[in-house]
Structure 1
Amino acid sequence: MTTRPHKKAEPTTPKSRTLTVEMKPGESHDYLVAKTAAGPHFSAAGTIIRYGQADAGELSLTDLAHVLKDQADTISRGDLRNIEAMLGSQATALNVMFAELARRAAVNMGEYINATEIYLKLALRAQSQCRATLETLAVIKNPPVVFAKQANIAHGHQQVNNGTPHAHAEQIVDQPNELLEKDHDKRLDTRAADTASGSDPALATVEGIHGAANCKRQGRRQP
């Protein structure tokens, strides 16, 4: 009687560590692995498996990645019901954590002050996170309305011309002052005394007529 040796069963990879993906034409194996590792669903699926294994048991990495992809597609279409349900559940869980931590703080109060302080800090932190989660849910359900008011801010002078157009600043010509000038090309020289004109010899200069000497003679009374 002869016996045949039993073949050793080959070890199978757990489904929680096996990911099946579709390879597109032109993609190499290394590129497919890199694209999957950098994607948004692979790392999240691995985190859920590690933290949820104690309660949910062994999960399929492939099925979990497909579920996360379906949820992302639902959000992209504008359906936020899953997000709202998740935030509501998280707020409830945080509220339960707050109640349990507050209870433990009350049990240790009066005897173990350090433990009481630690439990109270954790309880208030859970309460704060619960409030923040509810605020986020409220914003998703009722987005705030933003009123934008247009402000017309202008730097410098503004001029609005309605009707007849006015002359621009560069079109205004500085006209000569006729009271201070004889000709347009000759200006008065106030530093020198005027002389008598050649065409009218009877006219004399103002200084000659009204000099200091004449003022003395005119000041005497004639006999």
Structure 2
Amino acid sequence: MATKKPAGKAAGKMEARPAAAPDPEKAEAMAKMAMRPSVNAAAVMVAYGKPLGIGEDDVAALMDRLTDDMKDLWAGDMKRAEAMLFGQAHALQAIFMNLARRATAQEYMKNWEAYMRMAMKAQSQCRMTLETLATIKNPPVVFARQANINNGGQQQVNNGAAPALEQAPAHAANPKAAPTELLEQQHGEWLDTGATSAAGGTDPLMAPVGEVHRPAKR
């Protein structure tokens, strides 16, 4: 006697079950781990470090070492960064020399040009690496001058490089103001050196003018 299969269920199929809810704490821990610079650097070093013998088991050691070096960097110690740049400059120099020598062995111009183009790129990267190292060793000094201008409650700040030596222009000299007092009161000289004359016949009542204040001419 044949048995009947339950209706609605196909043979060999399993019932769909809802996926388990993700663990929030685990998800947060994985996100923090993925964002750590030491973890990212260690993962790349393992992927490209196989010729050096770096394997999957060395990830934890690499992370710890990178973390210690980053703490030194935060404290202002740039020795490892300088050493890294110097080593990269030498590596780029080796790449340039290899490609340049291989270019001389090419028979066709197209192949020679391709090798020389890559060689010159390596040379340019080497130069830029050395420039970066020089900037770290001797950072540029910037002199800045700040002027604060307050116009009706709205403050304007103008920052600009201060000149090495400020000199007033030759035409900006202020001439001495002309004296406004009487000449004899400043320098002991008289405006009129002649003697006081007597009253004329046309106007006998006119007295001689005073010593200081004289009437204005009509």
Scaled to the shorter chain, the TM-score interval is: 0.5 to 0.7
Q: Within 5 Å, which residues of 2 pair with 1:165-176?
A: none
**Would you say 1:39 and 2:27 are equivalent positions?**
no
Counterpart CA distance in 2 for 1:47 and 1:32 is: 20
User: 2:139 matched to 1:124?
Assistant: no
Q: 1:105 to 1:146 in 2, by over 3 A?
A: same
Partner of 1:92: 90
Query: Residue 146 of structure 1 corresponds to which residue in structure 2?
Result: 142
From the CA coordinates, give the structure whose radius of gyration is larger.
1
Structure 1 segments unaligned to the other structure (5+ residues): 1-26, 156-223
Paired with 2:113 and 2:82, the residues of 1 have a C-alpha distance of 34
Q: Specify the alignment match of 2:58 in structure 1.
A: 60
1:54 Cα deviation (Å)? 2.0
Secondary structure of 2:134's counterpart equals helix
Task: Using the TM superposition, give the Cα deviation of residue 96 of structure 1 relative to its aligned residue in structure 2, in angstroms.
Answer: 0.9
Structure 1 length-normalised TM = 0.53
Which structure 2 residue ranges, 5 or more long, are not aligned? 1-23, 152-218
Aligned to 2:187: none
- CA–CA distance in structure 1, aligned partners of residues 27 and 149 of structure 2: 58
Q: How does 1:1-223 map to 2 (within 5 A)?
A: 28-58=25-55, 59-108=57-106, 111-150=107-146
1:55-106 CA distance string (max 9 Å, x none): 2242511111111111110100000000000000000111111111110111
For the residue of structure 2 that corresponds to 1:88, the secondary structure is helix
Larger RCO, structures 1/2 (Cα 8 Å, 6+ apart): 1
2:145 match: secondary structure: coil
Q: Which amino acid aligns with 1:30?
A: A
Cα RMSD of the aligned pairs, angstroms, is 1.9
**1:186-205 Cα shifts (integer Å, max 9, x gaps):** xxxxxxxxxxxxxxxxxxxx
After superposing on structure 2, the runs of 4+ consecutive aligned residues of structure 1 that deviate more than 6 Å are 152-155
Q: Decide which structure has greater strand share.
A: 2
| Alpha-carbon distance, 1:150 to partner | 3.7
TM-score, scaled to structure 2: 0.54
Shift of 1:43: 1.5
Structure 1 position 29, deviation (Å): 2.6
Q: How far, CA to CA, are the matches of 1:85 and 1:61 in structure 2?
A: 22
* Amino acid paired to 1:41: S
